[in-house]
Amino acid sequence: MRVFKTIGSIRDWSFSIHKELKSIALVPTMGYLHEGHISLVRKAKMSADKVVVSIFVNPTQFAAGEDLERYPSDLQRDLDICKKEGVDAVFNPDKKEIYKRNFQTYVENEHIGQILCGKSRPTHFKGVTTIVSKLFNIVDPDFAVFGQKDAQQAIIIKNMVRDLNFKTKILIEAIMREKDGLAMSSRNKYLSAKQRQSALVLNESVKYAEQQFQSGNKDIVALKSKIEQRINSTKDCRIDYVEFVNGDSLQNNIKKGDKVLLALAVFVGTTRLIDNTILKY
């Protein structure tokens, strides 16, 4: 497994792989890898000849007061996991390599980047689309794999690829969950034992909506109210949002036959967690 620190070195490697007529799949991460990330790596291995994992805690997607400074990190552990999973290359640049002095050019989605998570984190997706576009330009992947847990992010990146004519094909992998149902996240380590128990209300809310839809109850207004009541009555939990939206456009224009996304963002203590599910309206 190769570990690259500079843009020039991984570009040279990528060029040599493509020269051999082999394909590359990229798994962009901020490190502190867990089983969710590993599922993305395994999907990448099934999709391409070579797999690159990027490990970079991207400062531009964090606003002032968010958890950039305490975001969990263990590079050697991440490298060991990548090696065990058969990753071909890891791109682990430092901040100065990615954002040169006087950096001032950003990529931004004008519409769906400002709703759902974008309401409470208005600069977040601007940072995400900027770093992902840079990684696509640097690594030149044929495929890139993202997780369904970050559903809004996945849709925004798909739109970016379409609008800016990237050649990279976006692949989405299902949410990976802990044994108790909590969606896997690097931020789960912030939770105390009691908060961890409270955090299960996110998955419980998702399962409740799935069961109600399956039984024929698709009254979105009533279901949203029930879910909000459930979360508000759970200790240490504070709702950022609970929304049923069109699963493709993220808008509220839902009609019969549409794919519906139930998206949740909840603060458990000071830790913000997300979860979602796709339903058939």
DSSP string, 47-106: H-SEEEEEE---GGG--TTSSTTT----HHHHHHHHHHTT-SEEE---HHHHS-TT----
Selection from 207, 180, 215, 217 nearest residue 262 by Cα: 207
The pair phi, psi for residue 244, each rounded to 5°, is -100, 120
Which one is catalytic: 18, 34, 37, 111? 37
User: Are the CB atoms for 211 and 81 separated by under 8 Å?
Assistant: no
Q: Is 139 left (phi over 0), alpha (psi -120 to 50) or beta?
A: alpha
d(Cα 133, Cα 152) in Å, to the nearest integer?
A: 16
User: How far is Cα of residue 13 from the mean position of the Cα atoms in its chain?
Assistant: 26
Whether 37 is catalytic is yes
Q: What is the CA radius of gyration of the chain?
A: 19
Residues involved in catalysis: 37
